[in-house]
Amino acid sequence: MKAAVITFPGSNCDRDLATAFEKAGADVTRVWHKDTALPEGVDVVGVPGGFSFGDYLRCGAIAARSPIAAAMIRHAERGGYVLGICNGFQVLTETGLLPGALMRNAGLKFICRRVDLRVATADSAFTSGWAAGDAVRFPIAHHDGNYTADPETLARLRGEDRVAFTYLDNPNGSMEDIAGILSANRRVLGLMPHPERAVEEAQGGADGMGLFGALLGGMALV
């Protein structure tokens, strides 16, 4: 399976994300924000965490209008997989690939610690390695992770089983404790916690490999 990991000015988790994909068995190519096309045959695009373009305007707003973002959108519209983590989740909402917005944390402070999550659905390639209701622990590191959406969007996400992860102890004020959501076709996932920082015990836990292993295995079956 082939993965492409995007780097924007200000990305700081791109190497971590590439390593996690490689650890799960993917052939990884790094792409730059000014590239106009993804590598041939890419199965999944990774949009990493960090502070793309210094978080000017809104987090992810400038990155969402970069040349590579247009290629990523075309990839998603063709049914390709996309994984956006932290700032990558913000980028995906700014492109419109995922609904809602990530607002300033309710406590108005940057949060950096491990959090416990509930797997809200197992019905996606990203979460199929778990059962709904399972608990996992990933790190978080964000200032604007407060997931916000209008009531109709929240109802649609619930009704279509598109909430992927929820916080067990909400750290940032996210509506309905949402930590990650899926696109309508279930092939785009955005989440604020960092599974790529939890892929080996030396990092304090390897729960993140459940996501990367399931994703690569699930894509191989399609």
**What's the chain's average pLDDT?**
96
pLDDT in tens, 113-168: 999 999 999 999 999 999 999 999 999 999 999 999 999 999 999 999 999 999 99
Write down the pTM of the prediction: 0.96
Known catalytic residue at 142: no
Confidence of residue 203 (pLDDT cuts 50, 70, 90): confident
Whether the per-residue pLDDT at 57 is higher than 90: the answer is no
- Considering only CA atoms, which of 123, 122, 129 is closest in space to residue 207? 129
Q: In what order do the strands lie in the sheet with 135-142?
A: 27-32, 2-7, 44-47, 81-85, 188-191, 178-182, 163-167, 111-119, 135-142
Give the pLDDT confidence score for residue 161 in this predicted structure: 98
Confidence of residue 221 (pLDDT cuts 50, 70, 90): very low
Known catalytic residue at 194: yes
Q: What's the average model confidence in pLDDT over 20-27?
A: 97
Whether the per-residue pLDDT at 220 is higher than 80: the answer is no
**How far apart (Å, rounded) are the C-alpha atoms in residues 183 and 191?**
12
pLDDT in tens, 71-115: 999 999 999 999 999 999 999 999 999 999 999 999 999 999 999
Give the pLDDT confidence score for residue 217 in this predicted structure: 85
The residue from 13, 59, 86, 94 that is catalytic is 86
Known catalytic residue at 86: yes
Q: What's the average model confidence in pLDDT over 186-195?
A: 98
